[in-house]
């Protein structure tokens, strides 16, 4: 379980880089909330692929169902992530501390929510999304 959680966290770190990069690029075209939503969708999809291959070693032929289940579970995990991000963006102004933080704040504010979401996502991925694969491994 510890190795799996570590791999899940590494994949999540890669997904975080995808998330931040896509949000940065989309923020030139969209306000920060829609940019955040679009970045989340792409990051969750990349996380599914890497978790399927690296964390859970899944060869489930029902990959579309698995991907949709992973996106759904990521949406559930996104609730605390989005809520934390929204709250930090609404109620905190780092410009009072240092003007540079104002430019970085939309990206720094992602971190606490991402950590909250990771816990929920791991539990759902381990116990639901990739559980068919686990059951078949136990029977071998």
Tell me: the pLDDT tens digits for 33-42?
Answer: 899 889 988 9
CB 73 within 8 A of CB 128: yes
pLDDT in tens, 16-68: 899 889 999 999 999 988 998 899 889 999 999 999 999 998 888 898 999 99
What's the whole-number mean pLDDT along residues 8-13? 94
What is the CA angle 134-13-82, rounded to 5? Answer: 90
pTM of the full structure: 0.72
Distance CA 54, CA 56 (A): 6
Q: What's residue 113's pLDDT?
A: 87
pLDDT in tens, 104-124: 888 888 888 888 888 899 999
Q: What's residue 40's pLDDT?
A: 85
Tell me the backbone φ, ψ of residue 112, rounded to 5 degrees.
Answer: -60, -40
Q: What's residue 136's pLDDT?
A: 47
Residue with tokens 């799996």: 4
Helix then strand count (H, E) for the chain reads 6, 0
Return the domain boundaries, the chain: 2-139
């Amino acid at each position: 379980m510890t190795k799996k959680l570590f791999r899940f966290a590494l994949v999540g770190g890669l997904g975080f880089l995808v998330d931040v990069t896509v949000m940065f690029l989309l923020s030139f075209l969209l306000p920060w909330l829609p940019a955040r939503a679009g970045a989340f969708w792409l990051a969750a999809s990349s996380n599914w692929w890497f978790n399927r291959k690296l964390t859970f070693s899944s060869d489930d032929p029902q990959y579309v169902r698995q991907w949709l289940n992973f996106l759904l579970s990521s949406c559930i995990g996104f609730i605390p992530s989005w809520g934390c991000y929204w709250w930090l963006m609404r109620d905190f102004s780092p410009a009072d501390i240092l003007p540079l933080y104002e430019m970085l704040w939309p990206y720094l504010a992602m971190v606490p929510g991402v950590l909250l979401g990771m816990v929920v996502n791991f539990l759902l991925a381990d116990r639901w999304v990739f559980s068919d694969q686990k059951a078949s491994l136990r029977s071998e």
